Every structure is written in C-alpha cells, then in structure tokens.
Copies of this chain bind each other. A is one copy, B any other.
Amino acid sequence: MAMTKKPVTGMKDILPAEMQVRDYVINQIQETYKSFGFSHIETPCMENIGNLSSKQGGENEKLIFKVLKRGEKLHIPEAQTEEDVVDCGMRYDLTVPLSRYYANNSASLPAPFKALQMGNVWRADRPQRGRFRQFMQCDIDILGDPTCLAEIELMSATTTLLGKLGFAGFKVCFNDRRVLKAMAAYSGFEEKDYDQVFIILDKMDKIGMGGVEAELLENGFAKDAVDRYMGLFAAMEEGGDSLGCLSEKLSGVIADDVIPGMQTIIESVKAAASCEFALVFDPTLVRGMSYYTGSIFEIKMEELGGSVAGGGRYDEMIGKFTGMNTPACGFSIGFERIITILMEKGFQVPQAGAKKAYLIEKNMPVEGMVKALAEAKKEREAGVQVLVATMNKNKKFQKEQLTKEGYGEFKEFYRK
C-alpha cells in the first residue's frame, strides 16, 4: 500500500514550538492540582464497546472510532453489522473511563478520591478549523463526596490554575439541574417536556429572553406556564440576589438543602479565590450531558466568546458499573482551547537556563570530539541546554535556524 506523508484526516502533528507550550501547561496543571491533593491516574485509551455505547455519552456515542476484532473472532464475509466486527473503541471522554476505573479499583483508593486525568480522547467529528479528531482532555473529579465541598475544591483548583496560566477576569457560571427542574415544575411544565424546555432555555445567550419566550410558545407550550417561567427570570433579575429570590419562590418545590448549598459554594469559592474572576449563579445554564444530577458549571471568557471549562455532578454514573451509586463531581478544562489561546497570544515559555549550540566540523578526529563532548557535559551539568550538532555546509543558514529555536550562543569546533 502507498505511504502517505499526511496524518490521519482530522488529526495533527505537533511541532516543537507548540509542544513547548503544551509541556509547560501540563506541568502547571500537575503542580496546581497536586497542591490541592488530586492524584494523577490513567486509564487505557480503549474501552470495551459496551461501556462506550451505554447512552452515557449522548451525541458523542455517534462519533466513536471503533476497533476491529482480531484473529479468530473476526469473520468479515459473514458479518452484517458493526457489532459483528467490533469489540472495543477509542474513549470519547474521560468520565466514562473514570467511572469504570473507580468501580474496578475503589478498594485500593482513598475515600473520597480526588482524581486528575490528562489524556487524549477521540471523536470522529466533521473536521473544522481548530477542532481535531484526537485531542487532549484534562479532568479533575472528586468521587465519594456528596457534600458541596467537592464543588468548592473543584472550582478553587480550576480557577487557581487559570490564574497561574495568566488568565483573569473570566466568569464562572453556576447552576443546578435540580434548580432547572424545580423552576420548570413551579411554572407548570410537564416532566416529560423538561428536556425540550431546557434545550430552548439554553439559547438565552443568543436569542435573549424574548426569543426564548417566543420559541416556547411556538413549540406549543401553554401560555400560562411560559408566563410563569418568564416571570421567574424577570423576578430574579429585578432583585439582585437571584438565589435568595428563587429560594422564596421555589419553597416547597425544591429540596431544602439545594439553594443553601449553592450559597455556601459561592461564598466559599470567592473567599478562597487566588485570582480575579466572577462567580455567578446563572439560571439559564443548562449543559448538554444527560448524566448530570446536581450542580453544573462552566467558565466563560467574554473576549473569546466561549467556554474554556465545564463540569458538574453526576451521582448516578458509577452505579451503572457497581450497582451502588457513588457521589461524583468533576471539572474539565478545555486543554486544546487554552493552548490555542496561548499560542495566539504569542505566549513564551519561561526559559530556565541558557541554550547553546556546539557545531562540530565533519570528520572530526577522536581527540577533538572528546574535547567538545567533555565541555558539553560540564555545561549540561551546570544547567545549560547544549545542542551538539554536525556543522552543515551552509553554516550561516544553520545558525539562523538554531537562533529561531532559541539558541543564543554558538561555539564552533574545527578539525584543526
């Protein structure tokens, strides 16, 4: 078969300049999250196909890269469907594998367990600018803690990290699936319609309150319910203390501890903040994944017009593996998005030591070689990065290239 120079469609080669930024960010992630007591773990990049096709992943399940069975298990001529030829697939996120990991290893893990994962995931999305079919995800999760301390630690760790990476003035938006549901119930929508209502509500950003109202009516929802629903949003905006307002209105419709918990989260995260950001209750925040059961959150940066991190509580997923529910809450940063932003900003990785290049003339006799190498060894031990390379015919061009790579000093070694 022919050899091709290009990577697989939708995937990319990473050049040294970007890799330097990635390595720097990965180090910051590890260092910051470690200081919050998160333990780094890893799962295989493949999962059994049954685990990936369990409806936990929503739309992402349609985008799985599936892996062919091998050896005697594979009979292509008789095969009729994908199930006949496939036994596993590439993970499309880190949450499903984490749940399986916890179910498999919980006996050896502390409780509660604070996990850090950094790894590639794969989705066969339509290729588009800046989106790739293999990309890094970086998740922190707290398993086994039903209290709002989990949310607080996740938000504190994530905002601390963003601060260390030089971001400021971002917005942490925050809501709860139970608030979403209680507001819909209070307004008189039927439970079977909630998902459709939330999908429309999710457009608030783009079409505004009037747009949401119109679309709800167009979709045949009762004017009465829509009015009550819109009234709630209006009342919250009027006051200023939207959570306090909601607490009053939803009394009896929502469990007693939900809104006080949210208030504790907001006050605690603000008190522990180590950089400047806004933490706001956003009753229009929906988030798509069906597995969320409680709080949901997202970090937005106005100037970038998008979300750079998102997460929430998913107390029922691990039970799918173990038969016993385990409280779980996670926060995922958009690693690739952060790298793109830093690259566009022209971010320079702080350089520890000097970078020197030794250029050695061709056919250097042993004594000359030994001399150059001994010198390089000494400098490397002193923390200098020393590139020892054969001198090219076009030495000027070679030096220009190396200057671009950050080499600021050159030393030339000749045969005589």
A322 nearest CB across to chain B (Å): 7
Chain B residues, Cβ within 8 Å of A8:
44, 46-48, 88
Assess whether A1 is interfacial by the CB under 8 Å rule. yes
Q: Does A34 lie within 8 Å of B385, measured CB to CB?
A: yes
Number of this chain's copies in the complex = 2
Q: Which single member of B1, B53, B70, B404 contacts A65 (CB below 8 Å)?
A: B70
**In the complex, A238 Cα to B103 Cα: how many Å?**
62
Chain B residues, Cβ within 8 Å of A415:
none
Q: Does B272 lie within 8 Å of A377, measured CB to CB?
A: yes
Assess whether A234 is interfacial by the CB under 8 Å rule. no
Assess whether A100 is interfacial by the CB under 8 Å rule. yes
Q: Which of A181-189, A261-269, A277-285, A300-308 contacts B (4 or more CB under 8 A)?
A: A261-269
Smallest CB gap from A388: residue in B: B153
Q: Does B48 lie within 8 Å of A15, measured CB to CB?
A: no
Q: Which single member of B7, B120, B264 contacts A104 (CB below 8 Å)?
A: B7
**In the complex, A274 Cα to B271 Cα: how many Å?**
50
Assess whether A49 is interfacial by the CB under 8 Å rule. yes
Q: Which residues A312-327 have CB closer than 8 A to chain B?
A: 320-322
Q: Does B380 lie within 8 Å of A35, measured CB to CB?
A: yes
Smallest CB gap from A357: residue in B: B37
**In the complex, A104 Cα to B76 Cα: how many Å?**
34
Chain B residues, Cβ within 8 Å of A348:
none
**In the complex, A110 Cα to B406 Cα: how many Å?**
12
Assess whether A36 is interfacial by the CB under 8 Å rule. yes
A392 nearest CB across to chain B (Å): 7
Q: Which residues A372-400 have CB closer than 8 A to chain B?
A: 373-374, 376-377, 380-381, 383-390, 392, 398
**In the complex, A71 Cα to B62 Cα: how many Å?**
10
Q: Does A322 lie within 8 Å of B65, measured CB to CB?
A: no
A sample of 20 more A-B contacts (CB under 8 A), given A3-B320, A6-B48, A14-B42, is A3-B50, A4-B51, A7-B43, A13-B41, A15-B108, A23-B30, A34-B385, A36-B380, A36-B387, A66-B67, A67-B67, A67-B68, A68-B68, A70-B124, A76-B81, A112-B389, A264-B365, A272-B373, A274-B377, A274-B381
Can you offer 12 A-B residue contacts whose CB atoms are under 8 A? A6-B48, A7-B44, A11-B44, A16-B40, A16-B41, A37-B385, A45-B45, A67-B90, A68-B85, A112-B389, A152-B373, A272-B373
